Chains A and B, each alone.
Chain A
Amino acid sequence: MIRLNSVQRWSLFVALVLWAIIVIFPLYWMVTTTFKLRADIYAGPALIPWVDFVPTLEHWARVVARYQQVTRAMANSAVAGLASAAAATFIGGMAGYGLTRFQYKLGFLRNRDIAFWILSNRVLPPIVLVLPIFIMFRTAGLVDSRAGLAIVYTMFNLPIAAWLMLEYFKQIPIDLDESAKVDGATYMQILTRIALPLARPGIIATFLVCLMFAWNEFIYALILTFSRAQTLPLVVAGQATQHGPQWWDIAVMATITIAPLLLVTILLGNRLIAGLTAGWGQ
């Protein structure tokens, strides 16, 4: 193990603090903007509340009262996100479990070819898929609906979900299945009594990753929704490009958009890191 003397340790610490400031400053600037009066926003670099400026809830109150689309967008983001994350985790989990426990042959495709085919769907640029999906959804009456968004997000998250779940199920020794089978357990019992409980941390991590991608997603929502089913990122982008000068209101909306994920990262930080990097670099 490389050892540092105390001068080196503390200079390293200072360098990392500098990067931490770069990470935090844009966030801090936006969040404090939501609490500043217009005069303070235009006056100069007001940084510290109660010293440089007197915090106000004016903008928050106005956004909540005046922009009904914000509350609706929160509901849309939550519904499409939760539904698609659950569906992607479930369907991806089924595929991941199957691919680690059975031998498949689809034409010339074997298990690992199927796994790679599933994963490779993730790299397709959305702009290629979204034009035909728009036409399909128009025919099916799914444009500008939560159901439509949830369906697209399930497809969009499925490759990652299947891949992560496969990594988790792979870590559960197949011997456990074998011995349960010898004891007379059915496939269903093996799945519900052995595989699922052992994979629980993986299921939670996969669900969170899918939820994050769906919550933050932009291009599908941009093209497939226009009023009723708009999500939070779309409201932020729409306001930002149409009403440039209302910086404070849009800052409130953007803060609402990032708040849940900041919270999740603070609460589950290390577990999330473990989930994201599962099966990496061994």
Chain B
Amino acid sequence: MQKTALTRRTLLLPAVVILLGLSIFPLLFSLALSFGDWGLGRGIPYEWRGLSNYAALLADGRYRNAAFNTVLYVVVTVSIQYVLGLALAWGLFLRPPGGRIFRVLFIFPMMLAPVAVGYMWRLMFQSRIGAANFFLAALGFEPVRWLSARWFAMSVVMMAEIWQWTPFMFLFLYAALMNVPTSPIDAALVDGASRFQVFRHIVLPMLMPISIAVIMLRAVEAVKILDTVYVITHGGPGNTTESLTMYGYNVGLQYFNLGYAAAIAYTLLLVVVAIAIPVIIFFKKEVSYT
């Protein structure tokens, strides 16, 4: 029996050690940093500052702008991803010709490096050599300097995000659709319900828990947005399209103000936790263990 106990502990030990050392310890370290000041590289030792970093955030216009942008990126991209993903999943559920090929094709974007995806879209919207302006020219419009104007630049970032992550919504909604029991659908059809009625009153309610889960999962990831912004706009023009992660990166590793960067990061963490807790509770209810 003693040998069993040893095996049991050995199985879990490496995972616990790694996560404690590289995840939980840095998490607490960051918390301590956010309450202080540490000029790394300038030879200034750690100094406790209480809540002064957080107080400074309230008055920081660049922070407010980054927070606003981040919320906008999340709300716009995740909602559009959901609607498109659901439409594609429903489309494939109706068994069109070539369904298997579409299914693989549709998941391509989510497999690719976000940095490369960002570059792809930057290339499309480049003002002199981008496909977008060539097509505008063909239709008789003036070329647009997409990345030099805040709202155009943000739309390009959003398009890249929607393109990359609609597949995620599609994939998991489609998998859920394939597990929906068919008998209520068949019964409704026999009773003369239209396809739209079946979708609206039977399928959609059954997909509700899954829908909430995928939306929250995407939102938790989208809040951390960095790669596409970094490559497409680099936060510009000025700092107008910057996200919270990008601002935290700039403060921490460009200006080496670790305390302030940690405070920015911690406000982001609070948002993530607020979104994630409902998801975790949801999953906890769904999963049963031996």
A254/B120 in contact, CB under 8 A: yes
Does the CB pair B12–A27 fall under 8 Å?
A: no
A229 to B266, CA, bound (A): 28
Q: Are A265 and B30 in contact (CB under 8 A)?
A: no
Inter-chain contacts of B220 with A (CB < 8 A): 123
Chain A contacts of B121 at CB under 8 A? 26
Q: Please tell me which one of the listed residues A12, A45, A99, A187 contacts residue B96 in the complex, with CB atoms under 8 A apart.
A: A12
A residues within 8 A CB of B169? Answer: none
- A127 near B268 (CB under 8 angstroms)? yes
Tell whether, in the assembled complex, residue B171 and residue A282 are in contact, meaning their CB atoms are under 8 Å apart. no
- Interface flag for A136 (CB, 8 Å): yes
Using known A-B contacts A112-B287, A233-B116, A254-B119, determine if residue A129 contacts B176 with beta carbons closer than 8 Å: no
B120→A132 contact, CB < 8 A: no
Minimum distance in angstroms from B246 CB to a CB of chain A: 9
Would A100 and B290 be within 8 Å (CB), given that A20-B105, A152-B22, A158-B18 are in contact?
yes
Given A128-B268, A129-B26, A131-B33: A257 and B176 interface contact (C-beta under 8 Å) = no
CA distance A24 to B117 in the complex (A): 12
Contact of A126 with B224 in the complex, beta carbons under 8 Å? yes
Partner among A219, A251, A280 whose Cβ is within 8 Å of the Cβ of B123: A251
For the side of the interface on A, what is the size category? 35 or more
- Number of A-B residue pairs having CB atoms within 8 Å of each other in the complex: 290
Contact A9/B11 with A41-B129, A237-B230, A254-B116 known, Cβ cut-off 8 Å = no
Question: Which of chain B's residues 87-144 have a Cβ closer than 8 Å to chain A?
Answer: 88, 91-92, 94, 96-98, 100, 102-109, 111-124, 126, 128-129, 131, 134-135, 137-138
Q: How far is the CB of B288 from chain A (nearest CB, A)?
A: 9
The yes or no answer to A108 lying at the interface (CB within 8 A) is: no
When the two chains form their complex, are residues B14 and A133 in contact, meaning their CB atoms are under 8 A apart? no
- Chain A nearest CB: distance from B160 CB in Å? 8
Question: Please, what's the 1-or-0 string for B159-175, where 1 marks a CB less than 8 Å from any CB in chain A?
Answer: 00001000000011001
Closest CB in chain B relative to A175 CB, distance in Å? 11
Q: A111-B289, A116-B280 are in contact. Are A212 and B111 (CB under 8 A)?
A: yes
Which residues between 249 and 272 of chain A lie within 8 Å of chain B, taking CB atoms?
250-251, 254-255, 257-258, 261-262, 264-266, 269-270, 272
The distance from the CB of A27 to the nearest CB of chain B, in whole angstroms, is 7
Q: Is the CB of A261 within 8 A of B111?
A: yes
6 A-B residue pairs with Cβ-Cβ distance under 8 Å, sorted by A, are A2-B198, A26-B163, A94-B12, A127-B249, A187-B3, A233-B114
Chain A positions within 8 Å of B, measured between CB atoms, are 1-2, 4, 9-10, 12-13, 15-16, 19-20, 22-27, 29-30, 33, 41-42, 44-45, 91-92, 94-95, 97-100, 102, 104, 111-112, 114-116, 118-121, 123-136, 151-152, 154-155, 158-159, 162, 170, 174, 187, 212, 215-216, 218-219, 222-223, 232-234, 236-237, 240-241, 247, 250-251, 254-255, 257-258, 261-262, 264-266, 269-270, 272-273, 276-277, 280-282
Besides the known contacts A125-B224, A125-B269, A129-B27, 20 further A-B residue pairs in the complex with CB atoms under 8 A apart = A10-B97, A13-B96, A23-B108, A29-B131, A123-B220, A123-B276, A126-B224, A126-B245, A127-B224, A131-B262, A131-B265, A154-B18, A155-B19, A216-B113, A233-B114, A254-B113, A257-B116, A258-B116, A277-B175, A281-B210
